[in-house]
Amino acid sequence: MTEEELKQFKAALSITKVAVDLGIPVVRNRCRCFFPTRHSHGDRTPSVSFSEERGTFRCWVCDDVRGDVISLVQIVKNCSFLEALNWLKETYGFLVSGAKLPMQNHAAPNISPAVAPAQVHTTAQNATLVAKMAVREAALEYHSPEPAKEIVSEDERKKIILSFLKMLSPIDRTPAAAYLARRRIYKPIWDKMLLRTITDYGAISDKLKETYDLEVLKYVGLFNENGNLRYYKHPLFFPYLDAKRRSFYFQARAINSSVVPKELNLRGTVPYPYNVSVLDQKPGWVYLCEGVIDTLTFLGQNIAAIGIPGVRSFKTEWLPLFKNKNVMLCLDKDEAGRSGTEYLQSVFEQAGIRTIVLGEGLENLNFSMKEGDDINSWFGGKK
């Protein structure tokens, strides 16, 4: 297996699905650490998190418990890199370049007939197939057979999220405002989408701990395992507003370009696309963007736009929201964006929803984005 084939193979794997096949009980993209004796109370509150988008995992307490899907197999099976890779190839051999896709394979991810190939693909076609399968599998939300231990009810969790967001400040005359202005996103959009920021981290942290039990704050996802408010380096908040302009989910963003990752999502699944109110069941067009910043850029141009955190986060159960809409696909101009566009075209086509790719057919007019561009940079935004 060449380096490029290995890269494609890992990209085609859902790290959460692999964890489950290894016998790890995963709940809400988290599990208990594989070394519970290193943790107080045996890691009672799961500290290992999985990122489907990056294909990685990490323990927020143990610095050496992190890595990609191969590292996960190495740790769980206590084996070498080569042994871990061979296990993955045996278990998910249908994803190896040149392999035939089985009609049935209990160890394989579920591939919808809507996007499954009707015949065996050639080796030359396989790279595209692997990319499409990777996006498709990661988009499927896995439901663990082991229920999460509910510390507070869902209604109470929503109340805590609303309470937290009300503690935040408008972003006028803050570093977050300067960050957005460099990207040509201005106050009318800040106010319309209720963007917020943390101006006094210590005060908000103290107020939350005075109001709620620390274990509850960890369970909700506002505090990490060490008992600290998670958003010290991610002070800009994008609430996901519902039709009544309430928010029970949000994304936080770093405004310092050196911070990795640049975004932190609230624990749990994304309930609906960003700016879901534009999906009003009325005939018309919507522009589907990759990320909140691109969505805000379009909104600043009075263009009806929605955003998804990444193609891998798109859920097929959202399709009814797009009733009576045509969709302009506006993903990033890179390999991941192109693969994601292919996948979304297929999904929407099977649902009877018309799609067009932004700039398609207008290349000779110098209208389309350049390689590496996203919507914000296309409109002149600065990093």
Q: Are residues 52 and 29 in contact, defined by beta-carbon separation less than 8 angstroms?
A: yes
On the question of pLDDT at 110 being above 50, the answer is no
On the question of pLDDT at 379 being above 70, the answer is yes
> Which pLDDT value is given to residue 137?
39
> Which pLDDT value is given to residue 188?
96
On the question of pLDDT at 51 being above 60, the answer is yes
| Mean pLDDT computed over 215-242 | 93
On the question of pLDDT at 103 being above 60, the answer is no
Q: pLDDT class for 362, splitting at 50, 70, 90?
A: low
Q: pLDDT class for 367, splitting at 50, 70, 90?
A: low
Written as six digits, the tokens of 30 are 């988290």
Q: What percent of the chain has pLDDT over 90?
A: 44
Q: pLDDT class for 120, splitting at 50, 70, 90?
A: very low
Residue 110: CB atoms within 10 Å? 10
Of residues 239 and 368, more confidently modeled: 239
In angstroms, rounded to a whole number, what is the distance separating the alpha carbons of residues 254 and 261? 8
| Mean pLDDT computed over 274-288 | 95
On the question of pLDDT at 319 being above 70, the answer is yes
Q: pLDDT class for 149, splitting at 50, 70, 90?
A: low
Q: What percent of the chain has pLDDT over 70?
A: 82
Give the CA radius of gyration of the chain.
Answer: 21
Q: What is the mean pLDDT of the chain?
A: 81
> Which pLDDT value is given to residue 173?
94
User: What is the 3-state secondary structure of the chain?
Assistant: CCHHHHHHHHHCCCHHHHHHHCCCCCECCEECCCCHHHCHHHCCCCCEEEECCCCEEEECCCCCCEECHHHHHHHHHCCCHHHHHHHHHHHCHHHCCCCCCCCCCCCCCCCCCCCCCCCCCCHHHHHHHHHHHHHHHHHCCCCCCCCCCCCCCHHHHHHHHHHHHHHCEECCCCHHHHHHHHCCCCHHHHHHCCCEECCCHHHHHHHHHHHCCHHHHHHHCCECCCCCECCCCCCEEEEEECCCCCEEEEEEECCCCCCCCCEEECCCCCCCCECHHHCCCCCEEEEEEECHHHHHHHHHCCCCEEEECCHHHCCHHHHHHHCCEEEEEECCCCHHHHHHHHHHHHHHHHCCCCEEECCCCCHHHCCCCCCCCCHHHHCCCCC
On the question of pLDDT at 376 being above 80, the answer is yes
Residue 62: CB atoms within 10 Å? 16
What is the length of the chain? 383
What is the tens place of the pLDDT at every residue in 172-224? 999 999 999 999 999 999 999 999 999 999 999 999 999 999 999 999 999 98
> Which pLDDT value is given to residue 117?
34
Q: pLDDT class for 377, splitting at 50, 70, 90?
A: confident
Phi and psi of 114, rounded to 5°?
Answer: -65, -30
Q: pLDDT class for 95, splitting at 50, 70, 90?
A: low
Q: pLDDT class for 363, splitting at 50, 70, 90?
A: low
Q: pLDDT class for 135, splitting at 50, 70, 90?
A: very low
Cα separations in angstroms, 59 against 16, 32, 193, 303, 334: 14, 9, 33, 41, 30
On the question of pLDDT at 358 being above 50, the answer is yes
> Which pLDDT value is given to residue 352?
93
Give the list of residues 6+ apart from residue 225 with CB closer than 8 angstroms, or none.
39, 45, 47, 60, 61, 218
What is the tens place of the pLDDT at every residue in 1-35? 788 778 878 887 889 889 988 989 888 888 989 88
On the question of pLDDT at 130 being above 50, the answer is no
Return the top range by mean pLDDT from 34-38, 41-45, 130-134, 323-327. Answer: 323-327
On the question of pLDDT at 235 being above 90, the answer is yes
Phi and psi of 62, rounded to 5°?
Answer: -90, 115
| Mean pLDDT computed over 157-173 | 95
Q: pLDDT class for 312, splitting at 50, 70, 90?
A: low
On the question of pLDDT at 76 being above 50, the answer is yes
Q: pLDDT class for 156, splitting at 50, 70, 90?
A: very high
> Which pLDDT value is given to residue 105?
37
On the question of pLDDT at 373 being above 80, the answer is no
Q: Please confirm whether the linkage preceding 170 is cis (ω < 30° from 0).
A: no
Q: Are residues 259 and 274 in contact, defined by beta-carbon separation less than 8 angstroms?
A: no
Q: Are strands 325-330 and 263-265 parallel, antiparallel or unpaired?
A: unpaired
